[in-house]
């Protein structure tokens, strides 16, 4: 129906999206602007309820008055915060030429700041024609009305950061979380668990995708639990709010969570997916981008423009270096920093963003340089997963000077060494040293290596020491999905066991991985639940498991309290030591003034770099801070005796012990149990430093 009620005028092409203006006494108006270069006509659809199958009003754009070049815009009086809307765009439907305009399809605003679910149905969006009754709806948001109460970004330097990768829903969804049923799996639920993270020693949470995503985007009727299937790049995912169809609850609840994290001194990093969208390939649905300008937003096959270049493994690849798409990505990042107060971003499959319109890697990709140089993002953390699903691997060579990178080589080399593989000791030393063989750029600080042993993609840490093979049958893909080579070792028995010796060995191995992650040069990242042995029962690709397989089992907090206590103590120790919080390369020779590292074997200054070596020891010394450590690593299957450097030493970590005990070690040699690690601090230096600290106070 046409609109007899709302007065409207030409409007402006800038800014894109729906922008709320207030004027007079309690009067509001909204300027709508969208990009569609080949559209023939555009309608604005207004709705009263999320599930409405018919719009309450239809306001057509006049192609002569409401269009400037390829921007369609209109100014509508009488609309305000909370109004639901969508667009219809009419144009040529020629998939073989890259055009997929559907004049009956309700399209979500790419710049919508909130989206409500309604009766959303992905299958209906795949069909040509009217899907209004089963489409999501965009929501007009008044960002200015939220009270941030003076909230500030913590701005914690990389070198002092402990990342914790977590899933918003999975963190509190299990009843064992102790969170009230109506808060489980929500932004509010996360707030209740912030004290736990603070006590653990976490300084930054890295949230798995929270942009509005398509929960139905998984094969065989399974859910897309992880969320790497974005529909929009500005709206928080509505299902993580206490009331998914209340726009205020969606946006403000997310902001409440950010504000609560900041009050605890914890940063919030978002895992962002700009490499593909939920619209998939030529068989996928039309939500927005395909219907506004398919040929602009996606990389199309040059030989068959009806198909998509797929460097993501998800059906399509975003044309990130197209001028319009670049602008949208930058606008999105700025919005999340300025209006939502997030502290940084981890870019999923970031190497896709380096490809040109034909899919070729570019030497100087415009979008990556724009992200690095954008002044509004200067104080944020920007982290690249520097590879894609088509074999492009750029770890250590990623563009720019400011980008940090996920260090996948750390994960693989540390796993192989602790498993007992041959020819791994030199690689382990390189990872401990900050991976100089990988990160060779002169301006790249050591703290820009984000090193980890586990992340959402693959085994949990407990499963890494409990399974030799993946067990993904619940995914209903005949165990063909997920990585085949995990460099894991089950310690003698596949899966769960009542064997006390095997379980003790597994706990020891988990502790070993924790120590190596926290005492390597660079910036450590831990996976949610690894601190107390969360298991996915051997599933190394749980992207569709929205159930107990993926949720945090909080009963393990008590059951595996030894492991949790150990993790807390080791984090606390690493955060106390200045030598673990530097952003430059250590010297590999003794110095009276600069921090250095010295390599040893079971005998001092005689590191065994041989093919069959399974042990390594090293000293870390920060002369100016009066810090002196000795760390002995024994990945061999028999106990080994290590020679201590001269001095009086205090053992502060023993992964073979029940607790992170502190004990003097005066003997010239110490015994390190098989498959374990010990850390010693020079007692004299530690004592002297303690006196200095007391004197300063």
Express each pLDDT in 354-376 by its tens digit: 999 999 999 999 999 999 999 99
In SS3 terms, 210-232 reads as: CECECCCCCHHHCCCCCCCCECC
Q: Residue 152 is inside which H or E element, if any?
A: none
Q: What is the mean pLDDT of residues 40-58?
A: 97
Is the confidence at residue 696, as pLDDT, over 50?
no
- Residue range 137-152: mean pLDDT, rounded: 94
Summarize the confidence of residues 19-48 as an average pLDDT: 95
SS3 328: helix
In angstroms, the CA 251 to CA 236 distance is: 7
Q: Please give the average per-residue pLDDT across 687-691, as a whole number.
A: 55
> Residues 630-681: pLDDT tens digits?
999 999 999 999 999 999 999 999 999 986 556 777 678 999 999 999 999 9
**Dihedral, CA of residue 195, residue 196, residue 198 and residue 199, to nearest 10:** 110
Q: State yes or no: pLDDT of 686 exceeds 80.
A: no
Active site members: 348, 385
Is the confidence at residue 683, as pLDDT, over 80?
no
pLDDT tens string 184-243: 999 999 999 999 999 999 999 999 999 999 999 999 889 999 999 999 999 999 999 999
**What average pLDDT does the segment 444-462 reach?**
96
Give residue-wise pLDDT tens across range 71-113: 999 999 999 999 999 999 999 999 999 999 999 999 999 999 9
Q: What is the pLDDT of residue 668?
A: 87
- What is the distance, to the nearest Å, from the Cα of residue 81 to the centroid of all Cα atoms in its chain? 31
DSSP class of 446 = G
CA separation for the pair 362, 368 (Å, rounded): 10
What distance in Å separates the CA atoms of residue 571 and residue 440, rounded to the nearest whole number? 28
Average pLDDT, the chain: 95
Residue range 464-490: mean pLDDT, rounded: 97
Beta-sheet strands, E only, within 339-472: 344-347, 381-384, 404-407, 449-451
Give the model's pLDDT for residue 689.
57
Q: In which band, very low, low, confident or very high, does the pLDDT at 685 lie, cut at 50, 70 and 90? A: low
Q: Does 693 score more than 50 pLDDT?
A: no
- Burial bucket for residue 124 (CB in 10 Å: 0-12, 13-18, 19+): middle
Domains in the chain and their CATH numbers? 8-145 (2.60.40.10), 158-579 (3.20.20.80), 586-696 (2.60.40.1180)
Cα angle: 163, vertex 169, 172; to 5 degrees: 85
Q: What are phi and psi of 619, to 5 degrees?
A: -100, 140
288-343 pLDDT, tens per residue? Answer: 999 999 999 999 999 999 999 999 999 999 999 999 999 999 999 999 999 999 99
386/63 Cα distance (integer angstroms): 43
With 60 as the cut, is the pLDDT of residue 688 above it?
Answer: no
Closest CA to 440 of 388, 405, 389: 405
Q: Is the pLDDT of residue 695 over 60?
A: no
pLDDT of residue 653: 96
């Amino acid at each position: 129906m046409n609109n007899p009620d709302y007065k409207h005028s030409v409007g402006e092409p800038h800014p894109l999206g729906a922008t709320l203006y207030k004027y007079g006494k309690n009067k509001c108006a909204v300027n709508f602007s969208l990009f569609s270069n080949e559209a023939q006509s555009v309608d604005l659809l207004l709705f009263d309820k999320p599930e409405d199958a018919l719009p309450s009003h239809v306001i057509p754009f006049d192609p002569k008055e409401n269009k400037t070049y390829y921007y369609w815009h209109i100014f509508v009086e009488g609309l305000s915060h909370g109004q639901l809307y969508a667009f219809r765009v009419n144009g040529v439907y020629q998939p073989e030429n890259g055009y997929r305009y559907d004049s009956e399809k309700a399209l979500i605003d790419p710049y919508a700041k909130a989206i409500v679910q309604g009766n959303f149905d992905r299958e209906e969006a795949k069909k040509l024609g009217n899907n209004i009754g089963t489409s999501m709806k965009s929501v007009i948001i008044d960002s200015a009305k939220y009270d941030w109460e003076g909230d500030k970004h913590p701005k914690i330097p990389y070198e002092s950061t402990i990342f914790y990768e977590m899933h918003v829903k999975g963190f509190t969804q299990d009843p064992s979380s102790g969170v009230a049923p109506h808060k489980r799996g929500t932004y509010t639920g996360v707030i209740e668990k912030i004290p736990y993270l603070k006590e653990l020693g976490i300084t930054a949470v890295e949230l798995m995708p929270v942009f509005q995503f398509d929960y139905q985007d998984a094969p065989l009727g399974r859910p897309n639990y992880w969320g790497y299937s974005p529909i929009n790049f500005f709206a928080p995912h509505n299902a993580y709010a206490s009331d998914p169809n209340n726009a205020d609850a969606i946006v403000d609840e997310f902001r409440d969570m950010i504000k609560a994290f900041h009050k605890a001194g914890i940063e919030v990093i978002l895992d962002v997916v700009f490499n593909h969208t939920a619209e998939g390939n030529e068989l996928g649905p039309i939500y927005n981008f395909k219907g506004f300008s398919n040929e602009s937003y996606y990389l199309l096959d040059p030989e068959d423009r009806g198909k998509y270049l797929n460097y993501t493994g998800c059906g399509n690849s975003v044309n990130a270096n197209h001028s319009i798409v670049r602008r949208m990505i930058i606008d999105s990042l700025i919005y999340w920093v300025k209006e939502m107060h997030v502290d940084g971003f981890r870019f999923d499959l970031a190497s896709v963003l380096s490809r040109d319109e034909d899919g070729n890697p570019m030497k100087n990709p415009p979008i990556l340089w724009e992200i690095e140089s954008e002044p509004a993002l200067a104080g944020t953390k920007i982290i690249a997963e520097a590879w894609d699903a088509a074999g492009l691997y750029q770890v250590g060579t990623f563009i720019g000077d400011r980008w940090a990178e996920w260090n996948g080589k750390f994960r693989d080399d540390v796993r192989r060494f602790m498993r007992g593989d041959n020819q791994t000791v030199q690689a382990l030393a390189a990872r401990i040293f900050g991976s100089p063989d990988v990160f060779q750029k002169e301006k790249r600080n050591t703290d820009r290596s984000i090193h980890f042993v586990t992340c959402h993609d693959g085994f949990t840490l407990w499963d890494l020491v409990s399974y030799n093979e993946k067990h993904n049958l619940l995914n209903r893909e005949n165990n063909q999905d997920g990585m085949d080579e995990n460099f894991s070792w089950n310690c003698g028995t596949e899966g769960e066991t009542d064997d006390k010796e095997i379980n003790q060995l597994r706990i020891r191995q988990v502790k070993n991985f924790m120590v190596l992650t926290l005492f390597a040069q660079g910036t450590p990242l831990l996976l949610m639940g690894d601190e107390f042995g969360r298991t996915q029962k051997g599933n190394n690709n749980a992207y569709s498991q929205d159930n107990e397989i993926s949720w945090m089992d909080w009963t393990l907090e008590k059951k595996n309290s030894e492991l949790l206590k150990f993790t807390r103590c080791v984090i606390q120790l690493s955060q106390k030591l200045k030598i673990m919080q530097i952003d430059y390369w250590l010297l590999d020779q003794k110095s009276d003034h600069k921090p250095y590292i010295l390599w040893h074997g079971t005998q001092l200054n005689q590191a065994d770099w041989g093919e069959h070596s399974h042990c390594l020891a090293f000293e870390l010394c920060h002369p100016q801070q009066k810090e002196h450590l000795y760390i002995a690593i024994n990945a061999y299957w028999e106990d080994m005796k290590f020679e201590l450097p001269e001095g009086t030493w205090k053992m502060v970590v023993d992964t073979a012990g029940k607790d992170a005990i502190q004990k003097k070690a005066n003997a010239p040699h110490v015994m390190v149990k098989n498959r374990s690690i010990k850390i010693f601090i020079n007692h004299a230096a530690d004592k002297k430093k303690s006196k200095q600290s007391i004197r300063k106070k």
